Amino acid sequence: MSSSDGSSAGGEPGQQEIWEDWEDNESSGFKSLFSDARFSSLDEVLQHDHNLTGFSLKSYRAQHGLDQVCTIRLINYIRTAVAAGQDPVPGLAGSQQAWQTDDSYLQPVLADDELMFYDWEQEEEGEQEDGQQAGGSAAAGQVQPSAASSQQRLQEENEALRGMVEALKAVVLQGEGVSELVADQSADAEGGASAGGASDSTAAAEQSQDRAAAAIDASYFDSYSTFDIHREMLADKVRTEAYRDALEKNPGLVSGARVLDLGCGTAILSMFAARAGAASVVGIDGSEQIAGVARSIVEANGLAAHSGGPITIVSSKVEQLAALPAAAPVDSKLGRGQVGGEDGQQVDVLVSEWMGYALLFESMLSSVLHARDRWLRPGGALLPDIAKMYVAAADEGASGLAFWKDVYGFSMEAVRSSLKADALQRAVVRCVAPQHLLSEPACVHSLDLATMREAEQDFTSPFTLTPGAGPKEVHAVVLWFDTLFSERFCAQHPVCLSTGPSGTPTHWMQTVLVLKQPLTWAPAAVAGDTPGVAVAITGQVSMARSKQTHRSLDIVLRYAPRFADGSSGEEQVTLYGLGVHS
């Protein structure tokens, strides 16, 4: 992986430490849903919770007919509410509650949650068998499930649980040694099934994953077929003018070149390239509807290839494109000979506006790298070619939660608490005013699109943040990115597209990671030996493409306060999601 400003990506050791830290707690027993108490047995913790609140998890399951997956959602819903200082019990009334279908509650709140990994349905079956034996002849008349149906149900439950483990692995496992260990354990667990059954189960699971990925892709491309989102992007002057300047102010790069515009949308970048003198431009978009619109726009501007212009629009996922449209031979000022190489299947410039929230949301970078390896000629240019990611500490104003403390003289703490509980599971995307930042930014990751491997999108990087003034309370870590059209390819006019809080706001805004508890810090000269006042925050940020939800992003923030005497406070680890749904 690339390093940036001395901050090594160093993913594998840090990620293995996270996983090992989580595994170290596996034998810590059953933790109460409503307190910090832990017990050695399930019965003890359930009795404790019932005595404490009057709530019985076992009875609630039976009354509402919850299966294993719904029980996991219930456990994480309760833990989330309790962690946010809310009473979860009112949200349990009625037969249909939002948490019952919210897949975010499949993400563990506790890494060592024995309640979540307990086989509730096996215990239920045991209780039913005991009741049937006690019922004598009455039980004899009941129809028992067949062995085949029981095996099928167990396979389905196993797939669901395995999926949750994969969601964790997507975030905290990148080291090959740890991944191999888990793979070996999974293989051992499957060893008890027949070869035919295991093969059928694997094939069914793969087909299900493929269908889910296809559905999410369809939803993703469909979201770009509406005009509102294209207006938002085109109206983003920071974004659009950066691409315009990179293409039009570097004639030595673009004039006479064959250009590939990946994710062309309304074809604005294709038309910039044509105006800059490109000999041939191919625009590719995965949305058939928007590709049709792009063709109409290009034709209306006299730039369509069939009428003598340079631009051809193709509707396809780039991974499924068998060949580029043919380009006519031209005499190139740049000595390229035929545009696109001898077979017309290479391009000189690959341009794409691929960035998502937190840079990597939507996973479009994988498509760019595929296009680079398949279509870009050796030595060809990528626009942009460098991406850098930054973090900084921020106050409560960065998250917007402070608004609810005083609304026309009234406290709306209930709203603030609810939003904070959600923000501890899902990253918040919003514009952060620069006055809410409490530190200088730290660069945590850098990507060189010309040389990087696809796996480098998933990373863990360390950071250290120090206060500019204080004492002040840190409530969040803010993340943003810059993309560079560097001198390597844009020698005549390099461009930097920044999405940071100090610049003009962009449609990407910033990504806010809300802390579980605020911490107080101040410069060392001010903090001195004051108890509980930190002089720095040290930690790691990890990002990984979600293996469970295609195009979604998992972010793990691991941090601890550091004090003037060199000691560190309690370390916190939080998993945030940025999701795309089918």
- The set of catalytic residues is 353, 362
Instruction: Determine the Cα angle at 113 with ends 86 and 457, to 5°.
Output: 95
**Closest CA relative to residue 162, chosen from 215, 211, 202:** 202
> Edge to edge, what strands does the sheet with 347-352 contain?
311-315, 280-285, 258-262, 347-352, 376-383
For 515, half-sphere exposure in the C-beta direction (CA atoms, 13 angstrom radius) is 25
| DSSP-derived secondary structure for 308-333 | T-SEEEEES-GGG---PPP------T
Instruction: Determine the Cα angle at 572 with ends 101 and 362, to 5°.
Output: 50
Count of CB atoms situated within 10 Å of the CB of 525: 9
Tokens for 520, please give them: 């107080």
Tokens for 20, please give them: 């090992």
| 74 to 60, 106, 159, 408, 427: CA distances (angstroms) | 10, 9, 19, 36, 22
Give the span between the Cα atoms of 191 and 187, in whole angstroms: 6
Give the span between the Cα atoms of 322 and 325, in whole angstroms: 10
Q: Map 29-52 to HEC letters.
A: CEECCCCCCEECCHHHHHHHHHHH
**Closest CA relative to residue 15, chosen from 172, 183, 181:** 172
**Closest CA relative to residue 98, chosen from 575, 418, 516, 430:** 418
Residue type, 114: E
Give the span between the Cα atoms of 464 and 556, in whole angstroms: 16
Helices 57-64 and 42-53 cross at an angle (nearest 10°) of: 90
Give the span between the Cα atoms of 93 and 89, in whole angstroms: 7
**Closest CA relative to residue 515, chosen from 356, 357, 401:** 401
DSSP 176: H
Give the span between the Cα atoms of 280 and 383, in whole angstroms: 16
| 250 to 143, 246, 336, 383, 555: CA distances (angstroms) | 77, 6, 17, 11, 37
Give the span between the Cα atoms of 297 and 315, in whole angstroms: 15
User: Which residues share a beta bridge with 382?
Assistant: 350
**Closest CA relative to residue 573, chosen from 515, 533, 522, 528:** 515
